[in-house]
Structure 1
Amino acid sequence: MATLLGNQNYMESLRKDITDLQGTLISVFSRAGAVRYPSWKFPDKVSCDLDLVSLLDQYDYVENDPEFTQHSHVVLLELVIDR
């Protein structure tokens, strides 16, 4: 399982999942109002105020840096939990 950590295809799929989750949350928030609750990943911020566009830009696949890519993969997994 650890050999899959940092796999570009899995990371792209995970990024799409995060985008889909965020779209669903925005749809629910538009009808019910935003839930003002601390972020699981970033406890100093409110989860509905996270800038996912910048986070997705910051944590991405980097071909020549497997250590950073694996770290990014873990962060993306944590963002799914955070959503």
Structure 2
Amino acid sequence: MWITGDQCSFNNTALLSADKSSSIVLLVESIARGQILKYHKKKLVLIYSIMRHFAEELRADGWLVDYHRESPDFKAAVINHIEKYQPEKST
């Protein structure tokens, strides 16, 4: 399942309905997204920090996390994720 920077919460519907023993959480820091939305650098630092901390919290809670730091874009990270894990479906 793919969780974006504004969805980092254990109350996320996708997490609540998923089985952590068979799910993989994908988190992506997209450089292109930050440029398209023209985020201030401090905002990007905050978003990435939240995502990185959330990834660690997920791992501590038993989730398998596929975290992509500073990926050129979402597409590259998703392609890499699919090639690596070959998921049956995505949410």
Whether TM-score is above 0.5 comes out as no
TM-score normalised to structure 1 length? 0.33
Q: As a proportion of its length, which structure holds more helix? A: 1
Give the structure with higher Rg (CA). 1
Q: As a proportion of its length, which structure holds more strand? A: 2
TM-score normalised to structure 2 length? 0.31
